[in-house]
């Protein structure tokens, strides 16, 4: 299946492996069937999840409310849905859009 797909409503569904506590926040290639995302935020009190949602909202140019954590609230393995993204998944490997 891969690390991304679109559902019937054209929402983007991402399968991610998260590495919190990194030096910076960025996509870092594949980790099995998931895309690895390094996060600068620590894995405490939901800070990593909040940082992930903010990072994805900025990259896909959508409001925070359109980035939904579907699975993995307390896990490194997460499934995220982005409702009606302005960009495709390739935006994770490029510079942040203006």
Q: Sign (positive/negative) of CA torsion 28, 88, 70, 48?
A: positive
Rounded distance, CA 17 to CA 67, Å? 16
| Pairing label, strands 4-6, 12-19 | antiparallel
pLDDT score of 85: 96
Cβ atoms within 10 Å, residue 79: 15
Q: Per DSSP, what are the bridge partners of residue 79?
A: 15, 71
| Domain presence at residue 93 | no
| Domain presence at residue 18 | yes
Task: Specify the CATH number for the domain of residue 25.
Answer: 3.30.1200.10
Rounded distance, CA 38 to CA 20, Å? 6
Q: Give the count of domains, the chain.
A: 1
Tens place of pLDDT for every residue, the chain, 98 residues? 699 999 999 999 999 999 999 999 999 999 999 999 999 999 888 899 999 999 999 999 999 999 999 999 999 999 999 999 999 999 998 765 55
């Amino acid at each position: 299946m891969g690390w991304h797909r679109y559902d019937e409503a054209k929402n983007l569904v991402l399968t991610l492996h998260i590495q919190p506590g990194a030096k910076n926040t960025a996509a870092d290639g594949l980790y099995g069937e998931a895309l690895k995302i390094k996060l600068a935020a620590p894995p405490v009190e939901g800070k990593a999840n909040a940082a992930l949602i903010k990072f994805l909202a900025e990259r896909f140019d959508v409001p925070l409310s359109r980035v939904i954590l579907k699975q993995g609230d307390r896990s490194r393995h997460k499934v995220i849905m982005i409702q009606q993204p302005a960009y495709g998944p390739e935006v994770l490997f490029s510079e942040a859009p203006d």
